[in-house]
Amino acid sequence: MAAAENKTTLEQLRRIRGIDVNTSERLALFRRKMITVEAGDTIIFEGQEKRRGYFLCSGWASSVRHLIDGSDQILDVRIPGDFIGISDMRLKYAPHATEAITRVELAPISYRALLSMSAGAGRLAEAILFSINCDMAITSEHLVSVARRNPQVRTAHFLLELSERLTRVGLDDPDSFHCPLSQYLLADVLGLTAVHLNRTLRQLRERGFVSFKSATVDIHDRPGMIEFAGFDPTYLHQAPSRSAISDCKAVGRSSDGNGHFRAN
């Protein structure tokens, strides 16, 4: 891991989480320089003991469980604005690995800094609590998808979820966004084989819902795709709070009538 100067993280945190970082929060969270991890490298090893949490400033990563037979299961993908390794920081061993999908920049968070934030930096503490709650909600949705949703519905639901998460942090157009997941990685997230995913994506494209080509997801019929997937984005959204929003505008429901949220 190579050090990188911390020049933009505070503004990213303001934009991504709607948090106005004050002096005590700045010292607590950004005491150390950001670190850079190259694509394919490990951020947190499964079974690792002493470890830090991170705020993901740029790039994509994945949470991966390595099984005893040598196979892997991707549990979720991490995008800019996500906190990594916070919810399990006090477990003796990391329950899963976190690996960089692309080159990523991370702001380290020590357990001591986390305690300091809980005591005197309410906005950041609230953002971290929301992140943990949101991760739990996402995990629940993925479990429901694997258990109850057929491959087409499961894939459509996940792509809508990615669209919502990226738009929520102001990173992309909701109907056309960069997605650096290979078909192998996407298939692993969805519990499908690469061949089955390829067939599923073709079926969704033939329905006129979505296409995925050259690392770009294009949603062609959002209302139809939302209805088809039974997608309700409310599990991804934080209730408005004066302490969390500060001088940034609250996230509100868009006027397109499709249940899609974006920053006002």
How does pLDDT run across 50-76, given as a tens digit for each residue?
Answer: 888 888 888 999 999 999 998 899 999
For residue 149 the two structure tokens come to: 């949703």
Question: In the chain, what are the helix, strand and coil shares in percent, each to the nearest 5?
Answer: 40, 20, 35
**Is residue 20 within 8 Å of residue 14, measured between CB atoms?**
yes
Total structural domains in the chain? 2
Report how far residue 135's alpha carbon sits from residue 226's, in angstroms, rounded to the nearest whole number: 21
User: How many Cβ atoms from other residues are within 10 Å of residue 173's Cβ?
Assistant: 12
Judged against a pLDDT cut of 60, whether residue 31 lies above it is answered with: no
Judged against a pLDDT cut of 70, whether residue 14 lies above it is answered with: no
Out of 10-24, 98-112, 211-225, least confident range? 10-24
Q: Would you say the C-alpha torsion 111, 117, 122, 128 has a positive or negative sign?
A: negative
More confident residue, 99 or 83: 99
**Is residue 37 within 8 Å of residue 191, measured between CB atoms?**
no
**What are 177's strand-pairing partners?**
217
Q: What percent of the chain has pLDDT over 90?
A: 50
**Is residue 87 within 8 Å of residue 130, measured between CB atoms?**
no
143 is a domain residue: no
User: Which residue range forms the structural domain that includes residue 229?
Assistant: 149-263
**Is residue 81 within 8 Å of residue 16, measured between CB atoms?**
yes
More confident residue, 112 or 90: 90
CATH number at residue 238: 1.10.10.10
Same domain, 172 and 258: yes
Judged against a pLDDT cut of 50, whether residue 45 lies above it is answered with: yes
Same domain, 257 and 169: yes
Return the pLDDT at 244: 31
Q: How confident is the model at residue 3 (pLDDT cuts 50, 70, 90)?
A: very low
Judged against a pLDDT cut of 80, whether residue 150 lies above it is answered with: yes
Report how far residue 168's alpha carbon sits from residue 234's, in angstroms, rounded to the nearest whole number: 12
Same domain, 58 and 109: yes
Q: Would you say the C-alpha torsion 172, 177, 183, 189 has a positive or negative sign?
A: positive
Return the pLDDT at 133: 87
Judged against a pLDDT cut of 80, whether residue 103 lies above it is answered with: yes
Centroid of chain to Cα 167: 11
Q: How many residues does the structure list for the chain?
A: 264
Mean pLDDT of all residues in 185-199:
95
206 is a domain residue: yes
207 is a domain residue: yes
**What are 263's strand-pairing partners?**
251
Same domain, 111 and 154: no
89 is a domain residue: yes
Which residue type is seen at 109? I
Q: How confident is the model at residue 111 (pLDDT cuts 50, 70, 90)?
A: confident
178 is a domain residue: yes
Return the pLDDT at 26: 53
